[in-house]
Structures are given as C-alpha cells and as structure tokens.
Amino acid sequence: MKIVVVGGTGLIGSKLVAKLSEHGHEAAAAAPSTGVDTLTGKGLAEALEGAQVVIDVSNSPSFEESAVREFFETSTRNQLAAEAASGVGHHVALSVVGTERPPGNAYFRAKIAQERLIEQSSIPFSLVHATQFFEFVRRIANDATENDTVRMAPVLFQPIAGDDVAQAIGRVAVGTPLNGRVEVAGPEQFRMDEFFRDALASWGDPREVVTDPHAHYFGAELLERSLVPRDDATLGRIRYRDWHDRNPAGK
C-alpha cells in the first residue's frame, strides 16, 4: 500500500515512515525538503500519484492565532483537493486530545477548523487525538516560565511517547476509515505541577515549579480534565521514566 506522510520528516512523521516501511508499505515523506509544499500545493499532485492513504502529521511553525489557523486551513484544503483528484481513499490526521473542550487556545481552535474541513470533505477519514508528547515536555516548561519560575496548574496530565503515537497512527492508517476519532494517551496519569517539578529536578534544572491554578497553557487556563482522554482511549506502553532513562536531558 502506498502511504504518503505529510510532515514525514518531522518527529512523528519520520517514525511513521520507518514503521510503515518495516511492515512492507510504500511510505513516502512529503515535506518541503522532499519537494512538497502543502501551503502552495507545489509537488502535491506528483507525491499523491498511486497513493491509497494520506497521513497528515504536519505542524504550524507559528502558534500565533492567525498564522496557525492559516497554516492548518490552507494546508488541509490543498491536501484534500489533491487527494480527491488522485483518488485517495483514506485521510488520516493527527490532532490533540481536548481540542473540542473548553477552554480552548489559539492552537486548539486552529485544529478544530482543520478537523471540520476533513469531516466535511468527501474523503473517508480518521482523526487521531493524542495527548502531549514526552518529547515536547521541555517546550511546555519553557512556555510556562516567567523569569526563573515555571507556573503549572494542578490538573491532570497524561503525556505519551512519540513512538507510541506513531504506532497508533500507523494502525489506524492501514485499517478501515473511522469517519470519526480515536484518542491515544500515555499509560500513566500525573498531576501536571508535580510532573514538571519532578521532570525539572531530573534534568538538573534550577527553575522553581510553582503550583498556580490560574497558570496558562499556551494562552488558556486549564480545567481538571482539559488535557486527558476519555476512558475509552488507547494507551501507549512506554512509561515516562523508561523514556527519560533513554533521553535524560528530556529532549
């Protein structure tokens, strides 16, 4: 099966291409570095020739509200148009657990706009909603930093390893389109402030983690379950401590 992975040179995309290839599929990475630009449409038609499935794991380079929305809407429209012309039978997109729940932030609103375009298209689809990646934990801490203080809300947090995300997306991609969504999350649930206090200590990071119920997560305050999945979510197998032992700097 030919599967085109949009964003196929990034964190999740490169893992997907490798995993799908290992299972005998013809997995092709579509990214600016491979001659495909989903914002302009350049190279899309050629990349999709003979493809049965397109997986979109691309991400916006900017989280500014207008820029992130423009990225996801333009890229998705171009992909869906090219897929319709090429006869692609399954569009798979990676999204985020909690996008549809209040309170939202600019990134979540952009992902909702992307999902609506996919749901309204004629192409069978599957949406994979994932929790935060272990690989992005340091970025989350940096975004929450004011001077030498990291402000974190005492809410639930259930991050997942990038390898588990890629495996879950791969399984969905080679199956029957869901025409709906599935949620994936890590095997352990933490309190967010406690998780980051332990994480920074393990990195030897001197910043202080302060518990703040009003702390913002990329521009929005969080409710208790804003970032965790429903009870029927698919859980990964890699625990944070095991991942950390292989990535001691948290990168």
The Cα–Cα gap between 114 and 69 comes to 8
Comparing CA positions, the residue from 178, 180, 183 lying closest to residue 168 is: 183
The pLDDT tens digits of the residues spanning 196-237 come to 999 999 999 999 999 999 999 988 899 999 999 999 999 999
Query: 219: phi > 0 → left, psi -120 to 50 → alpha, else beta; which?
Result: left
Comparing CA positions, the residue from 219, 39, 59, 29 lying closest to residue 143 is: 219
Model confidence at 249, pLDDT cuts 50, 70, 90, reads low
Domains and CATH numbers, the chain: 2-246 (3.40.50.720)
Burial profile 102-123: b = 16 or more Cβ within 10 angstroms, e = fewer: eebbbbbbbbbbbbebbeebeb
**Is the pLDDT at 251 greater than 60, yes or no?**
no
Q: What rounded mean pLDDT belongs to the chain?
A: 95
The pLDDT tens digits of the residues spanning 66-86 come to 999 999 999 999 999 999 999
pLDDT at 225: 94
Percent of the chain whose pLDDT exceeds 70: 98
User: CB–CB of 95/181 below 8 Å?
Assistant: yes
* Beta bridge pairs of residue 29: 5
The pLDDT tens digits of the residues spanning 120-156 come to 999 999 999 999 999 999 999 999 999 999 999 999 9
* 4: amino acid identity, one letter: V
The Cα–Cα gap between 235 and 188 comes to 9
Average pLDDT, stretch 163-189?
A: 97
Enter the pTM of the model.
0.94
The Cα–Cα gap between 48 and 46 comes to 6
In the block, tokens 């004629």 appear at: 122
Map residue 194 onto helix, strand or coil: helix
DSSP letter for 34, please. G
Comparing CA positions, the residue from 128, 115, 134 lying closest to residue 241 is: 134
